[in-house]
Structure 1
Amino acid sequence: MNKTAQIRGSLLSRNTLLNFIGQAVHMLASIITIPFIVRGLGIERFGLLSLVWVIFGYFAIFDLGIGRATTKFVAEALGKGEENEIPHLVWIAVTIQVILGIVGALALIGITPLLVERILKIPSDLIGEAKATFYVLALSLPVVFISGSFRGLLEAVQRFDLVNAVTVPASVLNYILTLIGIGLSLKLPGIVALILFSRFGVLAAFVMLNLRIMPWLRKYSVSFSLFSLFPRLFSFGGWVTVSGIVGPILVYLDRFLIGALISMSAVAYYTASYEAVTRLWIIPSSLVMALFPAFSALEGMRDRERLQFFFIRSVKYIFLTLGLVVLIISLFAKEILQIWLGVDFAMKSEAVLQILALAVLINSLAHFPFALLQGIGRPDLLAKFHLLELPIYVGMAGGLVKVWGITGAALAWTL
């Protein structure tokens, strides 16, 4: 554990590179396989599958930030040299995740008829298949939640090599299993069931790896004093959940407003630039994943000097690397769009791409104070900022979209 507790620049650089490679492999796998999946499923079933995963992502809020809290408090305990507290933290977190996973699964099962029959515009011939798909997906919630805590434990001890050794093959396997299901002429419930079985494999891998590198996790005894851990986990996780709920609204609202106030074609012109430029987030997110447990450990050590050093160094690195990329995109936005999507997109989306490129740079730099606030145990400040930002952004975005169209939406997202 000494190697983990002694946070070094070389360790963070290695972990960042591993995270970047992992995300790049996932992105490449999706680019290669999605055209085959679309052809195999057909547009309607692929659209339904995409929608299923989006809704599943929102039901992940039932996690209540416990996975993130596990990473935070385990890393902090390591920083303080309190390894004996870690088994209690981990197993309490896992117990909570089991309960939350069951509650989330029951909630998803209960709301499925309403979603499928009333809220979502699903073709009548796919309603039965859609219901069955959601029911199968609900069964995976407890497994996904528990996996989140064990993954968070590996991240806390800076073993991103092991995290990526599990998550990268698993993410690629999701696409491969979908193709296998198509080859076997399975419908969506069968395909999702295949992916569910792979999630059990992911959980087993995380558990075995944790027990191998931390055999003292087995040293666990039940005590009434353990209940004192509940408020800490729920307080931290609760504020993380608030940010997790507000964050997606801030991210997706612009396209909803464009569709409601302008047209669906305007959404297409805007989304093309948005989807392209936000791929740059892979760079700061790779670094932030490594920094969060490091910040937590350094806070546990009360080593504010190194905490400040890594924070400033990371911000400078991202500003210099992404700043150059953003400058190139801004200077050649028209040419990039013309080569990629044609003259029509270049004429209507040039300003959008230029503005969003700057927005991505600003947002990328914001990743680091956000991670720092959570690392030092103040996720409440981040959540309160998001709650304050939400009504301001909604009003500003609505006004700017009405006045300047998709360019106004890009400006609102930047400001």
Structure 2
Amino acid sequence: MSSSDETGSSPRSRHILTSTGWNIIGRIAPVFVAILVTPRLIHLLGLSRWGIFTIALSLISTLGIFDLGLGRALTRAIADRPEGKTTPETADLIFTGSAMMGLMGGLGGLVAAGLVGLWVDHGLKIAPELHSEVLWSLWIFCATGPLLMINAAFWGVFTGYNSFRTVNLITIPVSVAYYVAPVLVLYVWDSLIGVMLAIFACRLWLTFAYARSLLRLVPALKHARFRGYLLKPLLRIGGWMTVSNLAFPILNYVDRFMIASVVSAAATSFYTTPADVVTRFNMLSSSVSASSFPALASSWRREPERASEIYCTSVLAVSALLFPPCLITALFSHAFLSLWIDASFADHSAMIMSFLCVGVFLSGVDSIASGLLDAIGRPDVNARFSIGEIIFYLPVLYLSLIYFGVPGAACAWAVRICADYGVRSLVSLRFYAPLKPAILRVLPATVSGAVLLVAAMVGVSSAMAAGEMFLSLLIFYAVLWFVCLNHGEREAFMSFAGKIRKKIGINI
């Protein structure tokens, strides 16, 4: 645990960078394992059972609806505890929130199990000999609902205490086991039921590992009690967060359905294929936003200057992490798609991919602004903002498709994200005035990054694109280093970089 955890003080810039580093490792490590293991898993399961397995995994996001925003609300409540101290009421809050999320996970699992039963019996087209195996495997998966929610609650508590190193060290081996364990099971039991039992065991392992570490972090949990009155503030905050969570998939996936309806189903692939690649970059921005949210929640009330510093550092960190992959993808989108798929596909999708890169860059920056409003206890503003966006965005998206085709949809999405960030920043100033210096300080980086990404959309030769890449990187990081970062942030970065070099044994 960092010093900030031990003393109860708010994290500074260096803690945000360190926490972000742990979050990136925690997210990327299992992805590499998944890439290696997935071909073998497909071979052992076969296409039919693999398809069912992927559908089961998609149920995770569906069950997340039953979270009611309590996980994030719990993080905020823990981070914003009075004077940063852990009291018996803090322990009661943790126990109450976790128990409630476990109950909601159980309810979600029961609902999902009922719907899955109807789907397998009446809607799913599978071989008769697979019917029983598929039904039981999906029921077992639904039974992990309570564990899924309890683990989400425990994660929220760890992040509320800024214990990112601890929680990622626990999570990484279990996340790896999610992919490795099913393969090992299939060698001794060729059944989807065995795969789901392996996943159940992994989730149970994670629950016990989290609980054991939490008892060391918050010893008062041994005597905690369920206090119903503590749920009211959590549900008030979490309810608005749930509205935002429901609006988010509409804003981010309605374009795909509208393309299929207005243009054609075949044309959707020209949009979804590059989108699935580019949106993977959100893994970087979510690593930063997960670190900044509890830090903002713990400092906004008591130390507004520090909250402003954390906001600034977080936005600049997101910009610094996202700009290179977005720039390279925008510049070489046609070459990449030609190699990956074919030249004909690239002719249709390259411009779309470049537009999406601009949107993903600004979306990552906007996630920090959105997190700030949640952190200061105004998730209602984000929720209302998202609903308003839907009203304005849908007709713009439709007209863009009518007049400009699929590239118009990508452009409309990028413009929406740009407007989203600009308006949300102004709204944040209205509700949290101390943020003004930070917003002004990050503006050169976000604007220069967006402008350079738009410039990268102009088609040039490969040699010119390589030169443009180096020049754009030089301009962007010069603006970031000399214009946006203050002395403390430069020191924090150098200290963090020094630790990384020391860890991997590089001496300069």
CA–CA distance in structure 2, aligned partners of residues 249 and 173 of structure 1 = 32
Superposed displacement of residue 110, structure 1: 2.0
Q: Which residue of 1 aligns with 2:366?
A: 366
CA contact (8 A) 1:77 1:85 kept: no
Q: TM-score, normalised by structure 2?
A: 0.76
Q: Which residue of 2 aligns with 1:254?
A: 255
Q: Which residue of 2 aligns with 1:158?
A: 162
2:29 to 25, 28, 37: 25
Say yes or no: does 1:378 pair with 2:373. Answer: no
Superposed displacement of residue 108, structure 1: 1.4
Superposed displacement of residue 338, structure 1: 2.2
The 5 Å alignment of 1:9-24 reads 9-24=13-28
Q: TM-score, normalised by structure 1?
A: 0.92
CA 173–96 in structure 1, closer or farther in 2 if over 3 Å, else same: same
CA contact (8 A) 2:12 2:310 kept: no
Superposed displacement of residue 84, structure 1: 3.6
Superposed displacement of residue 204, structure 1: 0.2
CA 94–323 in structure 1, closer or farther in 2 if over 3 Å, else same: closer
CA–CA distance in structure 2, aligned partners of residues 395 and 55 of structure 1 = 30
Compare relative contact order (CA 8 Å, sep 6+) and give the higher one, 1 or 2: 1
CA–CA distance in structure 2, aligned partners of residues 173 and 82 of structure 1 = 33
Superposed displacement of residue 317, structure 1: 3.2
Return the index of the structure with the highest Cα Rg. 2
CA contact (8 A) 1:108 1:134 kept: no
Q: Which residue of 1 aligns with 2:355?
A: 355
CA distances 1:379-398 after superposition (whole Å, capped 9, x unpaired): 11111112222233333333
CA–CA distance in structure 2, aligned partners of residues 14 and 330 of structure 1 = 29
Percent identity among equivalent residues?
28
Q: Which residue of 2 aligns with 1:298?
A: 299
Q: Which residue of 2 aligns with 1:397?
A: 397
Q: In structure 2, what residue type is equivalent to 1:143?
A: L
Superposed displacement of residue 4, structure 1: 4.3
CA contact (8 A) 1:5 1:78 kept: no
Q: In structure 2, what residue type is equivalent to 1:412?
A: A
CA contact (8 A) 2:117 2:135 kept: yes
CA–CA distance in structure 1, aligned partners of residues 265 and 249 of structure 2 = 20
Superposed displacement of residue 131, structure 1: 2.3
CA RMSD across the alignment: 2.1
Q: In structure 2, what residue type is equivalent to 1:130?
A: V
Q: Which residue of 2 aligns with 1:209?
A: 213
CA 176–87 in structure 1, closer or farther in 2 if over 3 Å, else same: same
Q: Which residue of 1 aligns with 2:498?
A: none
1:64 to 65, 68, 73: 68
Q: In structure 1, what residue type is equivalent to 2:100?
A: I
The aligned length equals 411
DSSP 3-state at the match of 1:371: helix
CA contact (8 A) 1:295 1:372 kept: yes
CA 8–312 in structure 1, closer or farther in 2 if over 3 Å, else same: closer
CA distances 1:231-254 after superposition (whole Å, capped 9, x unpaired): 101111111111222212222222
Q: Which residue of 1 aligns with 2:330?
A: 330
Q: In structure 1, what residue type is equivalent to 2:398?
A: G
2:43 to 24, 39, 46: 39
CA 72–80 in structure 1, closer or farther in 2 if over 3 Å, else same: same
Q: Which residue of 1 aligns with 2:107?
A: 103
Q: Which residue of 1 aligns with 2:239?
A: 238
CA–CA distance in structure 1, aligned partners of residues 29 and 84 of structure 2 = 36
Say yes or no: does 1:406 pair with 2:410. Answer: no
CA distances 1:287-345 after superposition (whole Å, capped 9, x unpaired): 1111111111113x521111111112222333344334433332332222223333122
Superposed displacement of residue 51, structure 1: 1.3
Q: Which residue of 1 aligns with 2:195?
A: 191
Q: In structure 1, what residue type is equivalent to 2:150?
A: I
Q: Which runs of 5+ in 1 are unaligned?
A: none
CA contact (8 A) 2:65 2:242 kept: yes
Superposed displacement of residue 15, structure 1: 0.7
CA contact (8 A) 2:16 2:314 kept: no
Q: Which residue of 1 aligns with 2:312?
A: 312
CA–CA distance in structure 2, aligned partners of residues 116 and 240 of structure 1 = 32
CA contact (8 A) 1:66 1:234 kept: yes
CA–CA distance in structure 2, aligned partners of residues 126 and 390 of structure 1 = 42
CA contact (8 A) 2:120 2:135 kept: yes
Please, which moves more after superposition, 96-105 or 121-130?
121-130
CA contact (8 A) 1:79 1:298 kept: no
Q: Which residue of 1 aligns with 2:95?
A: 91
CA contact (8 A) 2:113 2:142 kept: yes
